[in-house]
């Protein structure tokens, strides 16, 4: 077997947590009971906690060990606040489904938003959440309302445990004025293929050049797995999208991103081309994120040299470092031209 075949024969495994915590209210919901049975069937260590905020005694000698174990800890609870955050530019609202992710992408935005509580929280009061979504849809009618389900986690990576995403998809399938979107780096899409989506859900995959995926995205599905999953999703009739993010400037980036677009073009079935979107996001970082990444992934090759970047002022004085205008323009032009060349009917939603 060649190295290439060997890599392709290895499949990224489904997430199985190392520890599971239940908040007591979770047991009042059928989904909470189902997850408990699943955890028991897997022989996982199960604990009760009055609240996820009280989980302080995770095993591990060093901060780094504790961090890695937290990422493999599942907390099952209910979503108390049913006020949804806004989610520009891709949707009107962020719909809660879970918080936290088992992946180890060095630049993951959750590193700063979740601070020292990076465990994976799954919410079991799905009906309450969908009822709140319905109210938001009615409030905006006759306008369409789009909900983003991947603002605080990667919901596909958890679907085999919760089944929530399929419920959200089928709920939106019945809503004339509701649309769902989410993005994933996981290829475990099979349970979603027979959902009654009614084309109301845009299924997006986060993709990147080989160099970026190999160096910065451990713990997620490999490129070929994501692209095969994208083909399945397109054949199941879902509108499809790709987020190329973060776009990184490195030695050889032109070749890397050109290869990415060519591979997408050569692999996708024709069904995928009918309704295809791209979202392009250049790499950026804040000082806080840089400090956290350097602590948690000390060997990372991720370039975060402020001197090579442009400072972009943000709200509340929280600015970020982006590529200087000339580099950003070169990235944007190169990638958009290649997308238009290979996918003339696709829509590029934004470059930011
Ligand atoms: S897959 Fe997404 S949510 Fe999970 S660690 Fe990577 S960037 Fe973060």
pLDDT beyond 80 at 313: yes
For 129-166, how does the pLDDT look when each residue is reduced to its tens digit (9 = 90+)?
999 999 999 999 999 999 999 999 999 999 999 999 99
| Tokens read off for 73 | 């800890």
pLDDT beyond 80 at 6: no
Q: How far apart are CA 307 and CA 188, in angstroms?
A: 40
Decide whether any atom of ligand 1 lies within 6 Å of the 296 Cβ.
Answer: no
State what percent of residues in the chain have pLDDT above 90: 86
Band of pLDDT at residue 5, cut at 50, 70 and 90? low
Decide whether any atom of ligand 1 lies within 6 Å of the 309 Cβ.
Answer: no
| Strand ranges across the sheet with 73-77 | 46-48, 19-22, 73-77, 120-123, 98-99
For 23-57, how does the pLDDT look when each residue is reduced to its tens digit (9 = 90+)?
999 999 999 999 999 999 999 999 998 877 777 77
Are the C-beta atoms of residues 312 and 320 closer than 8 Å to each other? yes
Decide whether any atom of ligand 1 lies within 6 Å of the 108 Cβ.
Answer: yes
Cα(115) to ligand 1 centroid in Å equals: 14
Where does 141-209 have alpha helices with state H? Answer: 159-162, 164-173
Cα(108) to ligand 1 centroid in Å equals: 5
Closest residue (by CA) to atom 6 of ligand 1? 105
Name the packing angle between helices 325-342 and 253-267 (round to 10°): 20
Decide whether any atom of ligand 1 lies within 6 Å of the 201 Cβ.
Answer: no
Decide whether any atom of ligand 1 lies within 6 Å of the 100 Cβ.
Answer: no
Q: Quick one: average pLDDT of 174-197?
A: 98
Q: When comparing pLDDT for 54 and 111, which is higher?
A: 111
pTM here is 0.94
Decide whether any atom of ligand 1 lies within 6 Å of the 185 Cβ.
Answer: yes
């Amino acid at each position: 077997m060649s190295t290439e075949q060997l890599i392709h024969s290895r499949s990224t495994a489904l997430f199985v947590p190392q520890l599971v915590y239940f908040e007591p209210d979770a047991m009042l919901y059928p989904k909470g009971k189902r997850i408990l049975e699943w955890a028991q069937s897997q022989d996982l260590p199960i604990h009760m906690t009055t609240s996820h905020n009280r989980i302080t005694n995770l095993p591990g000698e060093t901060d780094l060990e504790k961090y890695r174990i937290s990422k493999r800890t599942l907390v099952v609870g209910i979503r108390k606040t049913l006020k949804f955050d806004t989610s520009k530019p891709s949707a009107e609202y962020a719909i809660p489904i879970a918080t936290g992710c088992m992946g180890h992408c060095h630049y993951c935005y959750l590193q700063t938003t979740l601070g020292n509580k990076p465990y994976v929280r799954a919410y079991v009061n799905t009906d309450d959440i969908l009822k709140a979504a319905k109210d938001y849809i009615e409030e905006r009618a006759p306008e369409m309302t789009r909900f983003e389900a991947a603002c605080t986690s990667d919901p596909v990576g958890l679907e085999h445990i919760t089944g929530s995403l399929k419920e959200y998809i089928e709920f939106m399938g019945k809503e004339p004025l509701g649309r769902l979107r989410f993005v994933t780096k996981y290829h475990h899409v099979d349970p979603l293929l027979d959902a009654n989506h009614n084309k109301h859900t845009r299924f997006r995959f986060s993709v990147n050049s080989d160099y970026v995926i190999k160096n910065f995205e451990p713990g997620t599905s490999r490129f070929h797995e994501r692209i095969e999953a994208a083909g399945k999703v397109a054949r199941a009739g879902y509108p499809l999208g790709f987020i190329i993010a973060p776009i990184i400037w490195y030695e050889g980036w032109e070749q890397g991103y050109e290869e990415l677009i060519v591979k997408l073009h050569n692999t996708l079935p024709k069904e995928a081309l009918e309704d295809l979107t791209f979202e392009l996001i250049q790499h950026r970082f804040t000082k806080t994120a840089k400090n956290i990444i350097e602590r948690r992934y000390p060997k990372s090759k991720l370039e975060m040299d402020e001197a090579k970047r442009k400072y972009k002022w943000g709200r509340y004085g929280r600015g970020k470092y982006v590529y200087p205008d000339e580099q950003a323009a070169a990235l944007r032009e190169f990638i958009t031209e290649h997308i238009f060349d290979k996918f003339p009917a696709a829509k590029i939603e934004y470059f930011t």
